[in-house]
Amino acid sequence: MRTFEPGESAALREIWEGRIWSARPVTVVEDAEEQITLFIPAGAHWMAPFRNGKRLKIQEAEYELIEQPYKAHVLSFAWPANSAAVLLLYGSDWSP
């Protein structure tokens, strides 16, 4: 499997039932065997799932992807063997 160097850009996609559920631009902080750390700056644009003008947080069969700006800085910590991640969020002014 390909690994990324710190500072490289990548696309983080969530797939649900064979379709892209969301897509986010990330900067790789660390891509190690035991942990992956990614950064998304406030203001970055991502593709979010919507239906009938509302952003979906739970998967539905019908949705469309709409570009949205991130309102916070996000540092994401993930572990390859786990299906969840831990997110550290800071306001756009870097307040906790």
Architecture in CATH for domain 9-91: Beta Barrel (2.40)
Q: Is pLDDT above 90 for 6? A: yes
Q: Specify the pLDDT at position 96.
A: 85
Res 91: pLDDT: 94
Q: State residue 40's pLDDT score.
A: 97
* Residues in Cβ contact with 16 at an 8 Å cutoff, skipping those fewer than 6 apart: 59
Query: Tokens 């160097």 label which residue?
Result: 5
- Structure tokens that stand for 68 in this block: 């949205």
Extents of the domains making up the chain: 9-91
Number of H helices, E strands in the chain: 0, 8
Q: Do the Cβ atoms of 40 and 25 come closer than 8 Å?
A: yes
Among the listed residues 80, 95, 3, 9, the one whose alpha carbon sits nearest the alpha carbon of residue 44: 9
Give the pLDDT confidence score for residue 44 in this predicted structure.
97
Predicted structure pTM score = 0.86
Q: What sign for the dihedral angle of Cα 47, 16, 10, 92? A: positive
Confidence check: pLDDT of 1 > 80: no
